[in-house]
Amino acid sequence: MSILIYKNEQQEGPYDHDTIRQGLTTGRFTPDDFAFQDGCTDWVPLHTLVSTEKRLPVLPQTVSKKIEKKIEQIDSAISGLLGDDQDPGVVEKVIKKAKELLTRGEQIEYIGVQKKPIITIAPDAVLLTNKRFMIVRAKMMGMTFEDHVWREVANVHMSEQMLAATISCTIVGGKTIEIDSIPKKQARRIYAYAQEVEERMHEDRRSRDMEEKRAAAGGVVIQSPVGYSGQAAAPVADDPMTVLGKLKKMLDAGLIDASEYDAKKADILSRM
C-alpha cells in the first residue's frame, strides 16, 4: 500500500513501505512526518503507519556459526573456573593473559577474584597452576603477574574476616605477598589446593635432604648383604674406626636410630 508524505510544506510520494523504511534509516524521513494512505481520514504521524523499530541485520549462517563456536570456546575455557561466583569478565581476561605465560605442561587449576565494595580499576586475583602460585594485579593498561614456583613457596596462609578473607604466601627466604578481599569460599579453595601442593613439596624437599645427608655421611649401608653361606658379608670399609665415625654422623643426622647404631657398632667391634 502506497504512502504520501507531507513535509516542508510539500507533498511527496506515493512511496511503498520499503522505500519509507529506507528513508527512515537514512534520515530522509522522520517518524513524526505527516503521512497519508488509503483508508485514512486525515494526515497522521508516519510512525502510526510504518513501524520505526530498528531491525538487527541478519548474519549469514556461516558467520553466525563462527560466532557461536567462539562463544562455546570461551565458555568451555572458563566454565570450570566459575563455580564459586567469580566475576566471569575478570576470569576471562586473566585466562587470556595467563595463557601467554604458561610453560609446557602447565595448566590453570583455580582462580580466585577480589570482591571489594569499591573498585577503582579492576579486581586483583589469585591464579593457581600445577606449577606456580600467582597474584595478578590490575593496572590502568592491563595487569601484572607476580609468580613463584611451588618449590619456592614455604607457606600459604588464609585469614578470614567478616565478609571476606586474605590470602598470604610466604616464599622460602621470608618474603610474603598477599591479596585481600577474596570471597571466603574462593579463599578456602585456594588454601586447600595450596596445602595439597605444600605437602607434596615438603615430601620432595625431605627426600632431597635425606639424599644429601646420606651423601655427606659417606653412604654407609645399614643392612649388610647376606652371602650364600648365611653369614653376613664383611662391610665395605677400609678402617673400622672410619665406619664407626660415619655411623655416628648418621645417628646425629637422624638417618638411623640409637638401636640401629648400637647393633651396627657391636657388629663392627666384634670383628676387630
Residue 90, in any domain of the structure = yes
Are 170 and 245 part of one and the same domain? no
8 and 128 within one domain: no
Chain-centroid distance of CA 89 in Å reads: 13
Q: Are residues 82 and 42 in the same domain?
A: no
Does 158 lie in the same domain as 40? no
Does residue 76 form part of some domain? yes
How far is residue 228 from each of residues 231, 232, 233, measured CA to CA in Å?
8, 9, 9
Question: Is 219 a domain residue?
Answer: no
Residue 61 pLDDT level (bands cut at 50, 70, 90): low
Residue 191 located in a structural domain? yes
Query: Is residue 117 situated within a structural domain?
Result: yes
Q: Looking at residue 229, what is its pLDDT?
A: 45
* Same-domain check for residues 103 and 177: yes
Domains identified in the chain, total number: 3
SS3 per residue for 54-121: CCCCCCCHHHHHHHHHHHHHHHHHHHCCCCCCCCHHHHHHHHHHHCCCCCCCCCEEEEEECCCCCCCC
Q: Looking at the domain assignment, is residue 138 inside a domain?
A: yes
Say yes or no: 74 and 8 in one domain: no
Nearest to 237 by CA among 257, 267, 211: 267
Statement: residue 76 has pLDDT above 80: no
Q: Domain holding 198: CATH number?
A: 2.30.29.30
Given a cut of 80, is residue 206 above it in pLDDT?
Answer: no
User: Residue 169 has what pLDDT?
Assistant: 93
Which three-class secondary structure state does DSSP give residue 179? strand
Would you state the cell numbers that stand for residue 113, as one nine-digit string?
577474584
Query: 272: pLDDT confidence band, cut at 50, 70 and 90?
Result: low
- 81 pLDDT band (50/70/90 cuts)? low
pLDDT in tens, 123-157: 899 999 999 999 999 887 788 999 999 988 888 99
Supply 208's cell numbers: 632431597
The domain of 44 spans: 3-48
In a domain, 233, yes or no: no
Flag whether 29 is in a domain.
yes
Q: Which pLDDT tens digit goes with each residue over 218-262?
A: 655 555 444 444 444 444 445 777 777 777 777 777 677 788 878
What is the arithmetic mean of pLDDT over 10-35?
Answer: 84
Is the domain of 102 the same as that of 147?
A: yes
Contact between 198 and 153 under an 8 Å Cβ cutoff? The reply is: yes
Going from the C-alpha of 107 to that of each of 118, 149, 215, 231, the distances in angstroms are 31, 13, 35, 55
| pLDDT, mean of residues 16-40 | 84
How far is 96 from 27, CA to CA, in rounded Å?
42
Specify whether 191 is located in the same domain as 81. yes
pLDDT above 70 as % of the chain: 78
- 31 and 137 both lie in a single domain: no
CA distance 144 to 183: 21
Q: Are residues 191 and 85 located together in one domain of the fold?
A: yes
Same domain, yes or no: 167 and 196: yes
The H or E element that residue 163 is part of is none
Residues 74 and 196 in one domain: yes
Residue 80 pLDDT level (bands cut at 50, 70, 90): low
Share of the chain above pLDDT 90, in %: 25
